[in-house]
Amino acid sequence: MLWPLPAWLHWYRKPSYRDPVTFSKSVSADIENGLGSRPGSISSQSDAAIPSDLTLDCVLANKTCSPLSLYDFYMYLKHIEMSPENLEFYIWFKDYEARYNEDSHPNSPSQVTPLLVTPGAEKSGPYSYSGVALEEVDQGGQDPDFQQYIETLVTSQEAKRCKAFWPRHNSDRTLTRMYSNRAELQNIVALFLTSQSARELNIPPSMRTQALAGLATSDSPASLAPVADHVYYLLRNCSHRNFIRLGVKNGTFETLCMVTIVGILFTTLGLLTMLLIAFASPSIHHSSRWRALASAPFWIIGFSFLLAGWRGSCFLLLLFSRRQELPWERLSDSGSIKTAGSARWSLVKFAKKMMIFERKIKVKDYGLRQLQRKIVIQSVAGSLIATAVLEVVFLVLPIWR
């Protein structure tokens, strides 16, 4: 029986990219076609390149820090994938489920989030717990205050491991309007389950119909559990993978291009040094073979840069646990890209985003720092192996004294 290799020996490869729209459509089509379940092969590959302390469950539980925190995940979904509704709905569902289960009586105020659940006496008609059909509510009109609450519910989550780095929640924006359970569900239907709504979830039609039928007779979160499971599946197997893939990158495209060029230059310089020592100092068969070891430092540096860059990271930033701003961190409040100036030439714009000109940010998440150290060790080890192979190949050639 073979012993498993230690974790640090497994060559790390960042998760492959999955298009959210294509992935969601394929999963919905499989469910609608009567397959009964989602593709098992995709699910089994979901965490292959994601460390255990950077999984979706860790992110949702706020056990990760910048740049892979829950807030960062929400900003990524909002500005990069343009699909924050999946995370918003899932966070709301877990919050509603916890409040519903903790209430001993459905009409009693919640001790966890009192602003949404009020005594039934304050509401009447369709807002009571009498199983009134959802069609009685105007689903076309969406409550802007409730939309603000859903967004605030995500961004105001309390961080457990990095409170000092979590964005402060502005208490002045806290909602004061009160909702009963049924009123809350009415808003959820209008916001997430109504066709052409601002936050419409991309779920199979049969699942939508089943959820609406359940909500028409009960305010239990069990009616929305299949929707939450489906949303969690999409987050875990697509959006979170893409988020980790982008979050592991510690440099901009411009920086990675530059370090790749530097790696190629050092590798080429090592090869030129080898050839010059062998054939030009002073001529063939006149140089000691051990002088060829002078190429080793160039190859070690060059291959280290190339192997780290191949995984989307800058080797120099990895050494000091630093990173540049990620795409969603470069966005202003209006959603436009922040610019350092009005540079007119593309070459100047390219240079401004390189590591030597931009602010370097410390990586705060411990799991990501561990992963980056692993990439450094593997890059150096790989460069040593590649250098040793090249040295042996050249040293055995009959060109030395």
In 347-363, which positions are buried (b, 16+ CB within 10 angstroms) versus exposed (e)? eeeeeebbbeebebbeb
Give me the CATH topology for the region 20-34+49-103+144-248: Regulator of G-protein Signalling 4; domain 2 (1.10.167)
Exposure of 84 in the CB half-sphere (CA atoms within 13 A): 22
Record the tokens describing residue 186, joined without a space.
């009415």
pLDDT of residue 47: 53
Contact call for residues 328 and 75 (beta carbons, < 8 A):
yes
pLDDT one-digit tens code per residue, 326-347: 888 877 545 555 544 444 556 6
Least confident of 54-58, 172-176, 193-197, 208-212: 172-176
Query: Where do the structural domains in the chain lie, given as residue ranges?
Result: 20-34+49-103+144-248, 253-329+347-396
pLDDT one-digit tens code per residue, 78-116: 999 988 999 999 999 998 888 888 774 444 444 333 344
For residue 372, the surrounding DSSP H or E stretch is: helix 366-395
pLDDT one-digit tens code per residue, 163-190: 434 344 443 334 444 567 888 888 899 8
Instruction: Tell me the DSSP string of 230-297.
Output: HHHHHIIIIIHHHHHHHHH--S-HHHHHHHHHHHHHHHHHHHHHHHHHHHSSS-TT-S-GGGGGGGHH
Among all chains, which residue has been given the structure tokens 């961004």? 155
- Per-residue pLDDT for 46 more than 90? no
- Mean pLDDT, residues 232-236 taken together: 94
pLDDT one-digit tens code per residue, 294-333: 999 999 999 999 999 988 888 988 888 889 888 888 775 4
Burial class for 235, CB neighbours closer than 10 Å (0-12, 13-18, 19+) = buried
- Mean pLDDT, residues 106-134 taken together: 38
The three-state secondary structure class of 382 is: helix
Question: What is the CB neighbour count within 10 angstroms for residue 302?
Answer: 23
Q: Which long-range contacts (CB under 8 A, 24 or more apart) does 245-248 make?
A: 245/14, 245/15, 245/16, 245/17, 245/312, 246/76, 246/80, 246/326, 246/327, 247/67, 247/68, 247/72, 247/76, 247/326, 247/368, 248/14, 248/311, 248/312, 248/313, 248/368, 248/371, 248/372
